Structure 1
């Protein structure tokens, strides 16, 4: 059971680091967008590559932090049933949800997007806009990053549920327990 706990901690730690790093892209997006607006309206000039850049950074950020959002419970859920439920009921719901819905969804996204990403890498796809950013193939690779990080967090959810159902929730960090109030989880941190 300690091995399961270690795997949950490792996956959550990875998603926490990725989430913290990529959340800083939001600041870059705001700065670049502000710069584009100032250039356009004050100096009557514009660079297409800068317009591409803030859109691409936005795409990279949102795909990279999906696992982090799932780990924190920031995704959409019917909380009127889930929130008041007992820890074991939450564990069963998460186990079934991750095994029957999340992981198959990730597999479908992976299976359909991999040829798309490979094709983009094959000819080093760039922006379709004249004067746009090179390296669109790198951005398209974030679809695979999205799938991998989301799948890993789904596996962590399944393992966490198994630990809770087996009566070993004490092996989990407080932020991953169902019985710790969310305000205490926020004080302790995400991992």
Structure 2
């Protein structure tokens, strides 16, 4: 146990140095024309070092925020505004999905055409089967990028016989514990898998979560972009790497939302019932008010 504590404290201390190094020397990991820089970005994107940089930043910001609560409220409002904005924009993908499905049915069943092109001047043209399979992308956009928005809007269904009758204080404690023990770790675990799952379909030779940095650096000289363009069918949708990008984006947004939930619950617990839903930007506030 002592070894684990020493390891934890050591990584917390080193995270400050790692952050300073990353900020002062961005060329080491942002110059993607250089194989070694790209390898560092891939490796550190789901590394222990990156985890402790984020954790240390969270601890420092939280400590200052408990002293100056306006900092925490600023973080809550910023994260929730980000989730709301992305969700409100990406929710239109649902409408696009429905309209495109109607067009596909008309083109395929009524006009008996196998090709569909969209555009002015130079048309964006693919087989009808390509457009039909692309509908999955719109569904994925709604699921991944509107999840945090739904959380802000209190649209997720909560089935909890203990939470409903609990007191105001107990509810806030449950929300804080849930954000730190369940929500954030879930996002982190999925990120660890999704990050390398993404890059395995963007570069060659393939990278793995088990690869050490020195092994990946040896691959840097032969590392090449190799974006996945293989579909499930010969003429089907062939940009499935976008689903991997969406999965990574989903993890990042849910992790940020977990922080917002923790901060909001702490602040509402500290300030009392009068601050319940403070600064919350709801599309339908009357529906939420009636549910309390």
Is the shorter-chain TM-score for this pair beyond 0.5, marking a shared fold? yes
Deviations 1:52-97 (A, max 9, x none): 2211111122111111111222223125443443332221111111
CA distance in 1, matches of 2:276, 2:161: 28
* 2:217 counterpart residue number: none
List aligned pairs for 1:70-85, cutoff 5 A.
70-85=151-166
Higher helix share: 1
Retained in 1: the 8 A contact 2:202–2:228?
yes
Deviation at 1:10, TM superposition (A): 0.2
* 2:269 counterpart residue number: 165
Retained in 1: the 8 A contact 2:101–2:135?
yes
CA distance in 1, matches of 2:198, 2:85: 25
Change (3 A) 1:63 1:184: closer
CA distance in 2, matches of 1:72, 1:84: 21
Deviation at 1:185, TM superposition (A): 5.4
CA distance in 2, matches of 1:140, 1:184: 35
* 1:104 counterpart residue number: 185
Retained in 2: the 8 A contact 1:66–1:150?
yes
Retained in 1: the 8 A contact 2:154–2:288?
no
Other structure's SS at 2:271 match: coil
CA distance in 2, matches of 1:132, 1:49: 4
CA distance in 2, matches of 1:129, 1:115: 25
Deviation at 1:129, TM superposition (A): 2.1
Retained in 1: the 8 A contact 2:268–2:276?
no
Give RMSD over aligned pairs.
Answer: 2.4
Residue 57 of structure 1 pairs with residue 125 of structure 2: no
Residue 25 of structure 1 pairs with residue 62 of structure 2: no
- Out of 157-166 and 131-140, give the one that drifted further: 131-140
Residue 147 of structure 1 pairs with residue 251 of structure 2: yes
Deviations 1:123-180 (A, max 9, x none): 211223222234321232000110011111110000011112222663963537xxxx
CA distance in 2, matches of 1:124, 1:48: 21
CA distance in 2, matches of 1:171, 1:85: 15
CA distance in 1, matches of 2:133, 2:182: 33
CA distance in 2, matches of 1:142, 1:133: 16
- Give the greater-gyration-radius structure (CA): 2
Higher relative contact order (CA 8 A, sep 6+): 1
Deviations 1:5-25 (A, max 9, x none): 000000000000001000111
Per the normalisation by structure 2, the TM-score is 0.57
Retained in 2: the 8 A contact 1:63–1:142?
yes
- Out of 58-67 and 124-133, give the one that drifted further: 124-133
Higher strand share: 2
Out of 81, 104, 107, the residue aligned to residue 36 of structure 1 is 104
- Out of 14-23 and 72-81, give the one that drifted further: 72-81
The number of aligned residues is 183
List aligned pairs for 1:82-97, cutoff 5 A.
82-97=163-178
- Out of 42-51 and 164-173, give the one that drifted further: 164-173
